[in-house]
Chains A and B, each alone.
Chain A
Amino acid sequence: MKLKTSIAALGLAGLTAVATACSGADTGPAGGTARDVTQLELTPTTAAAAGAVDSVDWLLEDEPDSLDLDTQGGSAGRTVLTNVCERLYQLQPDMTVRPWLVDKATRPDPKTLVLTVRDGVTFHDGSAMTVDDVLFSLRRHADPDMSEADEFENVTSMKKTGAHEITVRFKEPDALFTKALAGDAGLVYQQKRVQEQGKDFGTPGQADACSGPYRLASWKSGDSVTLERYDGYWGDKPLTRKVVFRWAEDSAMVNALRTGAADGAYTDSVGTAAALDGKKGIDLHFGPSTATLDLIPTERGGLADPDIRKALSLSLDRAGIAKSGYGGLAQPWATPVGSGAWGYAKSVFTAAQKELTGAPASPTPADIARAKKLVQNAEHKPDGPIVIGTDSTQGRLVIANGVRAALQQIGLKAQIKTVPSAEYGEFYGDKSARADIDVLVADWYISKSDPVGFYDNGVSDDSNNWVGFHSTAYDAKVEQAKRTLDDAERAELVVDIQRRFTDAAVWIPVAQTPTALALSDKLTGPPASMAYLYHPWAASLGAKKG
C-alpha cells in the first residue's frame, strides 16, 4: 500500500516538476489577456455563410436527457431539437419574435387570439401539418404535468375555429403568450407519431415528430446524435447536410475545439470561452443573452434587511469579478436580466439601465461610504456571519470571494459554504437545501425576450421570491404589464418595475453573461445570441467561402 502511495506521489511530484519547468515564467494568461469588460461587443449574428458543408461536428456540454422538451427540458436537448422541430412563432437572432408556423395572427379583442396556421408544411414522414396537429401540440404543452403548463395558466380555451384556424381565449389580456409560443410552448408535433410512440417519445432510437429543416437521423445513447437535412423542408434549404452532436465537459471541449476534433459549440460556461479566446483556428462570437449572474438572498434572513442588501450591492467589485472569474467575458450589470431580454423598446431599456446607481461596476469611495452608512443605520443587522452558498466552479467561487471581501469592507462578517456541483442545483428548487445559506451565488436566465418574464419573480407570492419582498404596488404593476399588449406602453411599465425591484435589491445583480459561440474559422452563419436555443441555427451554418 505504502509502495503504491509512494509511487503515485512520486509520479505526481515528477509530473508537477515537469509542468513547472514547462510553465516557466507563466504569468497566467487569464490575468494577462483578460478582455476589457467595458469593451465587450455583443452582436446577435455572424456573417452569412456562402458555401455548402457536408458534415459538421458539434459539441454539447452534456448528452440530452430527452428530446421531448415537454417532459425534460434542458439546454442540450433544446440546442439539438430547435433544428428539428418548429414553433408557432420564432425567436430571431436579435431576440425579436415573429410568426413562423403561424401565417397570420389577429386579436379581435384583447382577450382573444386567432392563429391562422401556415399551409404547405410537411412533417419528416412527408405528411402535411394540419391544424389538428397544432391544437394537439398546444393541448399537450398545456397539460398540468408538462413543463410549459404555466404558460397556459391565463388561457380559458383553445379551439379549432376553421380549416386553418385556432382561437385562443384568455382570462385577461396576455402580452407574453405569443412570446411563449416562440419557446417550447409553441412546438408543433405530429399527433399521430407522438401517440404511436407514447412514453417512448423523445427517447433514443425513436424518430422525431416534427417539420424543421433537419430530421433526427439517429441518437446513439452515450455516443452521438445525428441530424440530416430534410429535403422536403418548406423553407430555405440548409447549407450543411449533416450535423453530428457529441458532448464534452469544459476542458475536453476546449481541447476538442482547439485540435479541430469539433467544429463548433455554444458554450454554457463563459470560462470555456475564455480559454478559447485568441486561439488559432477558432472564431469566438459573443451575442446578447438574457442570462445574468446574481446574488439571490434567501429565507434564512442574513440579508432580510433591504439596507444591508443595498450596501452589499454598492460595495461589490463587479468589474473585478468579471475580469477575474470570467476572463473579462461578463459585463458588470445593474439589473437581473441580460440585454437579450430586450426584444422590443431596446433604447428605452438601455437608457433606463444607465440611470440605475445602486450597482456600480467598481465601487467608488463614495459608494463604500454610502454602504457603510446603510449598514450602520440598518434596522436588522445580521447577528452572525452572512453565509454565501456556492459550488466550487471558478467563476462562482470568485463571486463568493468578492462578496466576502465586500461584506468585510463594510463591517460585516461573511462565510462561504460550498457544495459539490452535483448538489448545487438543489439550492434553486429545494427550500431546505438553502436553509443554511443567506445568499446564493446564482446564474439565471429567462426563456422569453421580455423582462416582464423575469420580474414575476419579485411578486409577493412567487416561489422565487425567497427573501419575502412584499409590495402591493409592485405586484399590481407586474400584473398590469403582463396585460398590456402595446410594447411601448409595456416598456414604460417595465422600467418602473425594474426601478422598484433594484431599489429594494430583491436580488443583487452582478454581471450579464453573453452567449458565446466558438466556431471553426472556416465556418460561419449561425446566430451568436441566445436565440440559438429556440432558432434553427444549423440551418444558417455553412462555409465562409462558396
Chain B
Amino acid sequence: MTAVPADAPAPAPTVRRVRRPVAALVATGFLALVVLAAVFAPLLAPYAPDAVDLSSSLVGTGGEHLLGTDASGQDLLSRVLYGARTSLVAPVLLLALAAVIGVSLGTLAAWRGGWIDTFVSRLTDVMYAFPGLLFVVLIIAVFGTGVTTSVLGLGLAFAPTIAKYTRSVALAERAKPYIDAYRVQGMGGARICVRHLVPNLARSIAGYLVVLFGEALMSLATLSYLGFGTQPPSSDWGLMVQEGQSAIVQGALLPALVPGTAIAAVVVAFNVAGVHLADRLGTRR
C-alpha cells in the first residue's frame, strides 16, 4: 500500500455559477499576442528595427509610421515588435538560471537540514539584504556591460528568492509519508529529490516563476535603461525608454511612451496571469 493520497472526491454537482477569470483570460490572450508579435516580427514590422532615417526624426503617429519615430528616425512600431524578442527571451533565460540555482539550494537545505540548512538560509538572508540591482551593477563593473552579464547577474540575484521559496515548500513536501516510503525501500536521498521530490514541487515553483517573470522583465529593462544592458541599436524596450527620454523635454512623448507602455502592459499581464496560474497550480495554497 502506498502513502500517496487518494484523489479528492469529485465535487457534488451544483447549480452555482462558476466565476470566470476574465482578467486572467484577457492577460493571457494579450501575452499570446505579444509572443506571436515577437515571433513574427520580421513579417509584421514595416521597417528594419535599426534603419536610420534622419529626415524623419521624432515624427508623430501617422500612415508611414504608425507609432512615430525616435530622434534618429527609427520606426517605433518596428522597434517595439523586434524588441519583444529580447525583452521576452532574456527574462526566460534569467529565470531558468535562477531556478536551477535556487531550486538546488532550496532542496538541499530542506533535505539535509542541520548546518547545511542554516548555512544556506543565512547565505540567502545575506543576499536578500543586499539590493539585487546593486549586486548586478557590481558584477557588471567587473565583467563589463552586455545582455549576457545582465542575465547572469540577475540570475544570481533572483536565485535566493527562489531558494527560500523552494526550501519552504520542500520542507512541507519532505514531511509527507511517500518520502519515508521511498527511504524504507532503500532509495538514496539524491534520487528521491531528483526523481520524486522536485518533480512534485514543479507545479508550485512554475507558478511562482510566472509571477517572477514580470519582475525579471522590469529588472532587465532597468539595467538597459541605466546603460548596463543591451547596446544600441538594439531595440530592447528598456533601452528604448532610455533613448527616448531626452525627447520628452522637446515635447515628443512617443519614443519613451511606446516602449514604456509595452513594458508596463506585459508586466501587468504577466502578474495577472501569473497570480491566477499560481493559484491553479497550488502555489498559493
Contact A327 B250 (CB under 8 A): yes
SS of A interface (majority): helix
Contact B252 A28 (CB under 8 A): yes
| Residues of chain B in range 261-285 having any CB-CB distance to chain A below 8 Å | 261, 263-265, 267-268, 271-272, 274-275
Contact A397 B264 (CB under 8 A): no
Chain A nearest CB from B139 CB (Å) reads 15
How does the 8 Å CB contact mask read for B134-169 relative to A, with 1 for contact and 0 for none?
000000000001000000000000000000000000
Given contacts A27-B59, A28-B58, contact A2 B232 (CB under 8 A): no
Contact B214 A5 (CB under 8 A): yes
Contact A28 B68 (CB under 8 A): yes
Listed stretches B108-116, B117-125, B239-247; interface member: B239-247
Count the A residues whose beta carbon is within 8 Å of the partner chain — how many? 53
Contact A5 B271 (CB under 8 A): yes
Residues of B within 8 A of A13 (CB): 261, 264-265, 268
Q: How far is the CA of A28 from the CA of B65 in the complex (A)?
A: 13
Contact A251 B248 (CB under 8 A): yes
Which chain B residue has the least Cβ–Cβ distance from A254?
B249
How does the 8 Å CB contact mask read for A89-110 relative to B, with 1 for contact and 0 for none?
0000000000000000000000
Q: How far is the CA of A220 from the CA of B211 in the complex (A)?
A: 48
Contact A401 B251 (CB under 8 A): no
Listed stretches B36-44, B71-79, B189-197; interface member: B71-79
Listed stretches A62-70, A125-133, A225-233, A317-325; interface member: A317-325
Contact B227 A30 (CB under 8 A): no
Taking the complex as formed, is A435 at the interface, i.e. its CB lies under 8 A from any CB of chain B? no
How does the 8 Å CB contact mask read for A488-528 relative to B, with 1 for contact and 0 for none?
00000000000000000000000000000000000000000
How does the 8 Å CB contact mask read for B51-86 relative to A, with 1 for contact and 0 for none?
010111111111000001101111000000000000
Chain B nearest CB from A414 CB (Å) reads 9
Contact check: which of B68, B211, B250, B268 meets A274 at CB < 8 Å? B250
Given contacts A401-B74, A401-B232, A418-B231, contact A2 B250 (CB under 8 A): no
Chain A nearest CB from B159 CB (Å) reads 15
Taking the complex as formed, is A250 at the interface, i.e. its CB lies under 8 A from any CB of chain B? yes
Residues of B within 8 A of A29 (CB): 58, 250-252
Chain A nearest CB from B124 CB (Å) reads 15
Q: How far is the CA of A482 from the CA of B246 in the complex (A)?
A: 41
Max chain B C-beta neighbours (<10 A), residue from A20, A26, A421: A26
Taking the complex as formed, is B218 at the interface, i.e. its CB lies under 8 A from any CB of chain A? yes
Contact check: which of B211, B243, B261 meets A16 at CB < 8 Å? B261
Max chain B C-beta neighbours (<10 A), residue from A274, A320, A419, A421: A320
Chain B nearest CB from A336 CB (Å) reads 21
Contact B250 A325 (CB under 8 A): no
Given contacts A2-B274, A26-B253, A251-B249, contact A397 B54 (CB under 8 A): no
Contact B271 A6 (CB under 8 A): yes
Taking the complex as formed, is A463 at the interface, i.e. its CB lies under 8 A from any CB of chain B? no
Given contacts A16-B257, A405-B52, contact A398 B250 (CB under 8 A): no
Contact B242 A9 (CB under 8 A): no
Max chain A C-beta neighbours (<10 A), residue from B233, B250, B257: B250
Q: How far is the CA of A19 from the CA of B248 in the complex (A)?
A: 11
Taking the complex as formed, is A376 at the interface, i.e. its CB lies under 8 A from any CB of chain B? no
Residues of A within 8 A of B55 (CB): 320
Contact A321 B58 (CB under 8 A): no
Q: How far is the CA of A404 from the CA of B227 in the complex (A)?
A: 19
Taking the complex as formed, is B181 at the interface, i.e. its CB lies under 8 A from any CB of chain A? no
Contact A271 B268 (CB under 8 A): no
| Residues of chain A in range 3-36 having any CB-CB distance to chain B below 8 Å | 5-6, 9-10, 12-13, 16-17, 19-20, 23, 25-31, 34
Residues of B within 8 A of A416 (CB): 231-233
Contact B261 A394 (CB under 8 A): no
Residues of A within 8 A of B253 (CB): 19-20, 23, 26
Contact A324 B264 (CB under 8 A): no
Residues of B within 8 A of A158 (CB): none
| Residues of chain B in range 160-215 having any CB-CB distance to chain A below 8 Å | 211-212, 214-215
Which chain B residue has the least Cβ–Cβ distance from A405?
B52
Taking the complex as formed, is A351 at the interface, i.e. its CB lies under 8 A from any CB of chain B? no
Contact check: which of B52, B68, B145, B275 meets A2 at CB < 8 Å? B275
Chain A nearest CB from B244 CB (Å) reads 9
Residues of B within 8 A of A384 (CB): none
Given contacts A2-B211, A397-B232, contact A20 B268 (CB under 8 A): no
Q: How large is the interface on B (under 10, 10 to 19, 20 to 34, 35 or more residues)?
A: 35 or more
Contact B71 A325 (CB under 8 A): yes
Which chain B residue has the least Cβ–Cβ distance from A420?
B227
Taking the complex as formed, is B100 at the interface, i.e. its CB lies under 8 A from any CB of chain A? no
Max chain A C-beta neighbours (<10 A), residue from B74, B228, B267: B267
Contact check: which of B58, B215, B254, B265 meets A1 at CB < 8 Å? B215
| Residues of chain A in range 272-298 having any CB-CB distance to chain B below 8 Å | 272, 274-275
Q: How far is the CA of A271 from the CA of B243 in the complex (A)?
A: 14
Max chain B C-beta neighbours (<10 A), residue from A5, A17, A391, A405: A5
Residues of B within 8 A of A5 (CB): 214-215, 218, 267, 271
Which chain B residue has the least Cβ–Cβ distance from A393?
B246
| Residues of chain A in range 223-251 having any CB-CB distance to chain B below 8 Å | 250-251
Residues of B within 8 A of A16 (CB): 257, 260-261, 264
Q: How far is the CA of A5 from the CA of B264 in the complex (A)?
A: 10
Given contacts A2-B271, A25-B61, A320-B54, contact A397 B249 (CB under 8 A): no
Contact check: which of B251, B260, B267 meets A28 at CB < 8 Å? B251
Contact check: which of A20, A28, A320, A419 meets B261 at CB < 8 Å? A20
Taking the complex as formed, is B226 at the interface, i.e. its CB lies under 8 A from any CB of chain A? yes
Residues of A within 8 A of B248 (CB): 251
Contact A397 B243 (CB under 8 A): yes
Taking the complex as formed, is A159 at the interface, i.e. its CB lies under 8 A from any CB of chain B? no
Q: How far is the CA of A354 from the CA of B74 in the complex (A)?
A: 32
Contact check: which of B52, B69, B227, B272 meets A402 at CB < 8 Å? B52
Contact B54 A392 (CB under 8 A): no
Which chain A residue has the least Cβ–Cβ distance from B146?
A417
Contact B227 A397 (CB under 8 A): no
Contact A324 B71 (CB under 8 A): yes
Q: How far is the CA of A30 from the CA of B57 in the complex (A)?
A: 8
Contact check: which of A20, A402, A418 meets B72 at CB < 8 Å? A402
| Residues of chain A in range 288-343 having any CB-CB distance to chain B below 8 Å | 317, 320-321, 323-325, 327
Given contacts A5-B271, A29-B251, A420-B227, contact A317 B54 (CB under 8 A): yes
Residues of A within 8 A of B59 (CB): 27-28, 31
Taking the complex as formed, is A181 at the interface, i.e. its CB lies under 8 A from any CB of chain B? no
Taking the complex as formed, is A400 at the interface, i.e. its CB lies under 8 A from any CB of chain B? yes
Interface pairs (25), CB distance under 8 Å: A2-B211, A2-B275, A5-B267, A9-B214, A9-B218, A10-B268, A16-B260, A19-B257, A23-B253, A25-B60, A26-B68, A27-B59, A27-B61, A28-B254, A254-B249, A320-B55, A324-B72, A325-B57, A394-B71, A397-B72, A398-B54, A404-B52, A405-B54, A418-B227, A419-B145
On A, residues with C-beta under 8 Å from B are 1-2, 5-6, 9-10, 12-13, 16-17, 19-20, 23, 25-31, 34, 250-251, 254, 271-272, 274-275, 317, 320-321, 323-325, 327, 391-394, 397-398, 400-402, 404-405, 415-421
The 9 closest A-B pairs by CB, nearest first: A320-B54, A27-B60, A324-B57, A28-B58, A394-B246, A28-B252, A31-B58, A13-B264, A401-B72
